[in-house]
Structure 1
Amino acid sequence: MRGALRFFLVLIVTGALLLAVAGLLAYQAYEGEGPVKEETVVLIDRGSGVRSIAAELKEQQVIDDALVFQVAARLTGKAGRLQAGEYEFPPGTSLREVLDKLESGDFVVRQVTIPEGRTSYEVVALLEGIEVLEGDIPELPPEGSLLPETYHYQWGDTRQALIERMQQDMQALVQELWPERIDGLPLETPEEAITLASIVEKETAVASERPMVASVFINRLRRDMPLQSDPTVIYSLTDGKGPLDRELTRKDWEVEDPYNTYYVNGLPPGPIANPGRESLEAVLDPAETDYIYFVADGTGGHAFAQSLDEHNRNVRNWRRIRDGEDE
């Protein structure tokens, strides 16, 4: 009798020890360092079940055992809450961390920067080149309707949704800045401000110059002088589909096109690009100057002038620099 009791006690103790060991191993498998050795990005397709998710993670060496993953997902109640998406797993990610990430939808967040002064055609082409975005952009957005900025997106976002965010941001910016404009501007609508800002954007990449460049065009509009902006000529020649693959000529200035501000007085019928915040601010609050001319100065900036004689001197100086005659 005592022998039988002793036997059962041994069985109980042994079973308890085995359970303890199994529990410890399970805990280590769940909480311990995972097999992934370097940052690994895994894409979980829509409609994937726990079995296919486990297989993909095992193939990418994020987990050691697909069956263990499935068991852990079901025991923790996470199996039905794992989300499709693009995930990044750092080295040593544990099984628990993998499940938590997939359950919470801690997706990889990407970003795209839309440079100031790109045309809508160029912005659409940029988005079309991003493979993880989905869908087409059914029609070209109106020129000047997109705010150049850095935008975040995830796998599965649509290109059209990103375009709509850019448009909403531009509308919000204009609604913010238009009421703060200075008095007496020769601009009647926010759309005219965007048009002029797009010209300023294309004329200079030097942020500190934009209020000066804006003042030149504002002064010309007030005096009913043609704007004579080369970027508007380029836009009329290319339809905004990219840079001109040659130098402008005097003959180009004579092109009969409403966007050619050598050919028409005043503003063109619409923007020639998508301007950024700084160009819009410059147009709505330009520098106070009497300048009506400017030309490149050879340093990346521009030389400004109040008279034609002064401007011609600046032009001659620029040509000497351009032709390598300046010491």
Structure 2
Amino acid sequence: MWRHIASNAITLLIVLVFLLGGLILWGQSEYKAEGPLDTQICLRVERGTNVSRVSRKLEDQGAITSGTLFRLGMDYADQTAKLKAGSYLVPEHSSMSQIAEIITRGGASTCGTEVVYRIGIVRDRVEVRELDPATSAYVEKADFVMGEDETPAEYTRVREQGDTRYRIAMAEGVTTWQVVEALKAFDVLKGEITEVPPEGMLAPSNYEVRPGDDRQALIDQMRDAQEKILAAAWEGRDPDLPLASPEEVLILASIIEKETGVPTERYEVASVFVNRLRKGMRLQTDPTVIYGITKGQRILGRGLRQSELRKATPYNTYVIEGLPPGPIANPGRESIEAAVHPEDTDYIFFVAKTLNPRDGHAFATTLDEHNANVRRYREAEANQ
């Protein structure tokens, strides 16, 4: 009898082990299976929260089928203690395993609220925007000029959130003075700027920052980025360019940057200036004259006077031979590439097609062609 009972008990135990093993395999399969989300969502993990609260939020948003299984899976993978605060974009049909990886790997938030400090040619703006996970497009919540406009309540609110992301967006063609003054005004940063790099040596780009980041450290980062871009461009430059050094590349690139607002024209504009340098012709470009007047520290806000075009200054390329003594702005990567890889043309003239910079320029190889283009521009100017 006892032998029969022991045999049944062993059989039951084996069945239970198999059932438990099957349950574990099922759980693992479910944890890694495609999730129920039909559209991606933005999951906010608040500072100080725990996996239980996150799992309930995921259930409420329809991202997972079982909060219990999600918690057990994170425990099994030893991820519970690795939960990171932030706002994370959870793609459609993400598995529980994939979601756990998203919220524990750290790094910058991938959705939610973003504050963008834009350093522009004419003015600097602060933009508060939020990612709409349904469309993957940002929705503007506030836009203002710091120090001029009243600070929106939305800006104050998001500054108090721990998962708000911050970015400095530096436009191509701004001057070093403009960058320094903008960074001084942006209240997300701290510290003094004690070493200002030469004109042209800051790389226009987007820079992720955190509240309290040091201004000088950011300037150094911008300078390091530009040095690498310039060094690579100089190393891979076209042969027989009439440019003697990386510094001259930077000067030409800054002129290209200021001469056209149409990105696809950069290489044609570069060809005009390279052809002129090869022929010993003066560059005759207005932006250099303007820089000689403003030193890059203000917007001229008017047309150039004839007296200014005739006055001999180091930056007046209507008077001096060759390049001016230094860059006139901070050129972007594409303008630097255009300077070292100009398009192969015979162009030596160009003029705007209309008063709208986005309409581009008309290029010419002879003075007669150029004069005809100028007449068309004057006609467009008169009609407008």
TM-score (normalised: structure 2): 0.57
Residue of structure 2 equivalent to 1:77: 78
**Match among 266, 289, 296 for residue 233 of structure 1:** 289
Residue of structure 1 equivalent to 2:222: 163
1:191 is aligned with what amino acid? E
Check the 8 A contact 1:42/1:57 in 2, yes or no: no
Check the 8 A contact 1:146/1:170 in 2, yes or no: no
**1:323 counterpart SS class:** helix
2:325 is aligned with what amino acid? P
2:88 maps to 1:87: yes
**Match among 166, 182, 193 for residue 240 of structure 2:** 182
Q: What is the Cα deviation at residue 182 of structure 1? A: 0.6
**1:315 counterpart SS class:** helix
Q: What is the Cα deviation at residue 201 of structure 1? A: 2.9
Measured in 1, the distance between the counterparts of 2:185 and 2:73 equals 39
Residue of structure 2 equivalent to 1:315: 374
Q: What is the Cα deviation at residue 199 of structure 1? A: 0.9
Check the 8 A contact 1:215/1:288 in 2, yes or no: no
Instruction: Tell me the alpha carbon deviations over residues 154-200 of structure 1, each in whole angstroms, 9 at most, x when there is no partner.
Output: 999x782862563243233233145x4416x2x44321221022112
1:232 is aligned with what amino acid? T
Give ranges in structure 2 of 5+ residues lacking alignment: 112-166
Moved more, 55-64 or 90-99: 55-64
Residue of structure 2 equivalent to 1:218: 277
Measured in 1, the distance between the counterparts of 2:54 and 2:184 equals 28
Moved more, 16-25 or 168-177: 16-25
Q: What is the Cα deviation at residue 144 of structure 1? A: 2.2
Measured in 2, the distance between the counterparts of 1:136 and 1:84 equals 27
1:30 is aligned with what amino acid? Y
Instruction: Tell me the alpha carbon deviations over residues 249-286 of structure 1, each in whole angstroms, 9 at most, x when there is no partner.
Output: 43554678644434755433321223355544554566
Moved more, 83-92 or 106-115: 106-115
Q: What is the Cα deviation at residue 100 of structure 1? A: 3.4
**Match among 249, 263, 280 for residue 193 of structure 1:** 249
Task: Compute the RMSD of aligned alpha carbons.
Answer: 5.1
Change in CA separation of 1:144 and 1:19 when aligned onto 2, cut-off 3 Å: same
1:234-249 pair list within 5 angstroms: 234-236=290-292, 239-240=295-296, 245-249=301-305
Q: Which has the higher strand share?
A: 2
2:99 is aligned with what amino acid? V
Change in CA separation of 1:35 and 1:310 when aligned onto 2, cut-off 3 Å: closer
2:362 maps to 1:302: yes
**Match among 325, 332, 335 for residue 269 of structure 1:** 325
Check the 8 A contact 2:33/2:96 in 1, yes or no: yes
Instruction: Tell me the alpha carbon deviations over residues 42-92 of structure 1, each in whole angstroms, 9 at most, x when there is no partner.
Output: 4557xx67x635534543544566665444322222334555665321123
Give ranges in structure 1 of 5+ residues lacking alignment: none
TM-score (normalised: structure 1): 0.65
Instruction: Tell me the alpha carbon deviations over residues 94-149 of structure 1, each in whole angstroms, 9 at most, x when there is no partner.
Output: 22222234455587679998765444566789999999x98789466543224557
Q: What is the Cα deviation at residue 214 of structure 1? A: 1.5
Residue of structure 2 equivalent to 1:55: 53
Measured in 2, the distance between the counterparts of 1:245 and 1:168 equals 31
Residue of structure 2 equivalent to 1:209: 268
Change in CA separation of 1:152 and 1:87 when aligned onto 2, cut-off 3 Å: farther
**2:330 counterpart SS class:** coil
Measured in 1, the distance between the counterparts of 2:191 and 2:44 equals 21
Q: What is the Cα deviation at residue 323 of structure 1? A: 1.6
2:88 is aligned with what amino acid? Y
Identity of aligned residues (%): 31
Which structure would you say has the larger Rg? 1
Check the 8 A contact 2:31/2:96 in 1, yes or no: yes
Change in CA separation of 1:69 and 1:142 when aligned onto 2, cut-off 3 Å: farther
